[in-house]
């Protein structure tokens, strides 16, 4: 991969070389996690933290994609698709009845200009139960609480999404902040894995 010059945080008018890494850490209870990289994409953007406009765009595109997925007749029933956008990186989570549905959902999300990249983490499986989703909500609350007390990463720079006992960490962060976010959440009981969906500055 081509090396990029370092970026000074806060230099909003300078081009920032950012690597978007999606890395999965498999957890066994409270044991140490093994690291595996499943996606690496290089992008160049002209900002180092989300602007107010980007924040608004992220929220708007989430609504647009959810509506489009709900109204799409080719996707049909037997699905539960979560849509989360952070700085134009759209994460799809949940369950679909077939790989074709998953590919269709990804294609729909990619059709919006606000979506710079779409990461498909959909699985072909029955729709999760209410109990499973309640457990996911509890894990999200625990993860957010862990980030709030961390001294090495600001909780408002990391978005937490939990699906099927997998915690996804999203944001525009330094590598040190990313490591701190993982360290803050990796000891939470009930978490099966942590997936980093970070853009690094």
Cβ proximity of 62 and 54 under 8 Å: no
Q: To 10 degrees, what angle do helices 175-185 and 130-148 make?
A: 120
pTM: 0.77
pLDDT band at 175 (very low <50, low <70, confident <90, very high): very high
pLDDT digits (tens, 9 = 90+) for 77-103: 889 999 999 999 999 999 999 999 999
Q: To 10 degrees, what angle do helices 99-110 and 52-71 make?
A: 140
Structural domains present in the chain: 16-48+128-200 (no CATH), 52-124 (3.30.1340.30)
> What are 104's two structure tokens?
């269709």
pLDDT at res. 27: 40
d(CA 161, CA 182): 13
């Amino acid at each position: 991969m081509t090396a990029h010059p370092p970026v000074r945080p806060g230099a909003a008018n300078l081009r920032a070389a950012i690597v978007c890494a999606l890395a999965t850490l498999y957890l066994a209870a409270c044991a140490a996690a093994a690291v595996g990289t499943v996606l690496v994409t290089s992008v160049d953007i002209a900002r180092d933290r989300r602007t107010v406009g980007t924040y608004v765009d992220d929220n708007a595109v989430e609504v647009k994609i959810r509506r489009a997925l709900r109204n799409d007749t080719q996707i049909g029933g037997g699905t539960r698709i979560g849509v989360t956008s952070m700085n134009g990186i759209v994460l799809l989570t949940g369950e679909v009845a077939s790989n074709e549905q998953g590919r269709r959902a990804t294609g729909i999300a990619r059709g919006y200009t606000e979506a710079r990249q779409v990461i498909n983490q959909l699985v072909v499986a029955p729709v999760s139960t209410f109990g499973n989703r309640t457990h996911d909500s509890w894990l999200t609350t625990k993860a957010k609480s862990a980030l709030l007390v961390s001294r090495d990463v600001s909780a408002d720079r990391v978005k937490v999404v939990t699906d099927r006992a997998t915690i996804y960490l999203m944001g525009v962060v330094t590598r040190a902040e990313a490591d701190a976010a993982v360290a803050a959440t990796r000891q939470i009981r009930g978490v099966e894995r942590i997936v980093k969906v970070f853009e690094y500055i």
